[in-house]
Amino acid sequence: MSVIAIKHDQIAELFLTHKEAIVDFLLRKVKCPDAAQDLSQETYLRLLGKDSLTHTDNLPGYLFRTAERLSIDFIRHHQRSGAKTQELDDELTCPLMQPEDFAILSQQCERLLQAIASLPQQCRHILLLRKIDELTYAQIAGKLGISEKTVQRQLVKAMLHCHHMLIGTQH
């Protein structure tokens, strides 16, 4: 079993090559187009978070395995949240965020806002339409008069840019 470092460009290329197949795979699992799109993006982000990978002889298989695990977690979460509804205890208190945790979160938010602000206009607009307005790829493409493939590419570009800015690397 070999462990090698994998470049973000390799992951982006791998993701773009298998994007439609991953979404179709996830759609069969979770039965929701929007959830399938979001889980495919999460699959990509999980791979971006890895410094190195084992089993690099089958990277597409690794990609699909990650997607499968995310779909299982998604289904379990929805089964649990649907099955468990209980009344809240009136005496239940919410723990306050510690000052150091708040400072870290504040810095991360600031870096994310800077990363989003530094994106090219169309890329930023697409990211905000997807993540804030929760539009589908098709809705974004229709609204902006571009192809869904362009929407996908711009989202990957935006997420990669934000990822680099949040972890402090240059691309």
The answer to whether the pTM exceeds 0.85 is no
Q: Per residue in 54-111, pLDDT tens?
A: 655 677 888 888 899 999 999 888 888 765 555 556 665 555 667 777 788 888 888 8
* Amino acid identity, position 36: A
Say how far apart CA 137 and CA 159 lie, in whole Å: 15
Structure tokens at 162: 């934000």
Give the pLDDT of residue 72. 92
CA torsion angle 155 160 165 171 (round to 10): -130
CA distance 43 to 71: 10
pLDDT by residue (tens digit) across 97-128? 677 777 888 888 888 899 999 999 999 999 99
